[in-house]
Amino acid sequence: MKIPVGVLGATGAVGQRFVQLLDGHPWFEVKALAASSRSAGQSYERACHWILSTPMPEWARQMPVLPATATAGMDCQLLFASLPGDLAGPVEEEFAAAGHVVCSNASAHRLAADVPLIIPEVNADHLALIRTQQAGRGWKGFIVTSANCSSTHMTLALKPLQSAFGLSKVYVVTMQAVSGGGYPGVPSLDILGNVIPYIGGEEDKMVSEPLKLLGRLQEGRIQDAEIVISPHCNRVPVHDGHTECVSVSLGRQTTIEEISQVWRDFRAEPQALGLPSAPQHPILVAEEADRPQPSRDIHLEKGMATIVGRLRPCPLFDFKFVLLGHNTVRGAAGGSLLNAELLVAQGWIK
């Protein structure tokens, strides 16, 4: 019997991606779709302007949209949340207090000391914070968050380097797709033939989130990693797929061949557990001189992998490389879905 789940913020861009990824899922079945009061009471088909390239699933079309409140009567232990930032905090807390498990894609609780910020291949052990969260807040449910889209893919690429060699400094320049800004997103006259060298709040997230993700769990608290990170974040006229140019200083000497092999060999708990959404290869190494590219590579491993390439020595740091990741799959809905699968596999959801 499948676990009944709901989607909060189901009509938005990431909410639609949740609906798409949950269609036919072997463990989960969508029983509730919720959105703003403006959409509540309508059928999902009527309330939602579907923007994805695949058709809206038939089962979702006539499903009634509920208000995103804990009193709406959602009979779902597990909720996937993609609510706007100003609503996410109080709404997620309301549902967790009412006994729901909330897998959130929003930033509201990512840096809260008692809320796990999780990339399953990076820090599955941080789920132990759930006990601290429930004890401190008196909740029957809990909140688990996924990281920002750019932070997710950079941290996936950095984790094997940190484990194998040590990591002290990271310099990164992002080229982020317009879909990362939601729908309708950046006005076309602002982005076509242009680069916008500013994304509000993004550079702060690119520092704070990887430090928590790569940190250590000690006595019920996360000790942030001691890494210096300097990011530049840019919006570029690409539909899907964030590209990042990264330079790193490592803790010991190594070679291009050794780093490449460490990336290729990288596996973690999702792969060992055989989680349904886990990529077989969390990190793919592109051999071609001009790869990775968004138009050619973001759908590898169904959008759940980070693709790295152009690894070479760096005269200012130690090594530099390019990475690419799907920002609305692994970097958003897919990341939260994998978190939920990990929660089931570890017994947090029954």
Q: Is 149 a catalytic residue?
A: yes
What are residue 227's phi and psi, to 5 degrees?
-130, 135
How many angstroms separate the CA atoms of 97 and 276, rounded? 29
8 Å CB contact between 203 and 233: yes
From residue 150, how far is each of 26, 95, 155, 230, 243 by CA, in Å? 28, 27, 9, 13, 8
Residue the block writes with tokens 């194998």: 164
Which of 247, 223, 235, 109 is closest to 181 using CA atoms? 235
User: Position 68: which residue type?
Assistant: A
How many angstroms separate the CA atoms of 139 and 142, rounded? 7
Catalytic residue, chosen from 149, 153, 233, 326, is 149
Catalytic residue, chosen from 100, 109, 153, 242, is 242
8 Å CB contact between 80 and 7: yes
Give just the sign of the alpha carbon dihedral 92, 118, 282, 214: positive
As annotated, the active-site residues are 149, 242
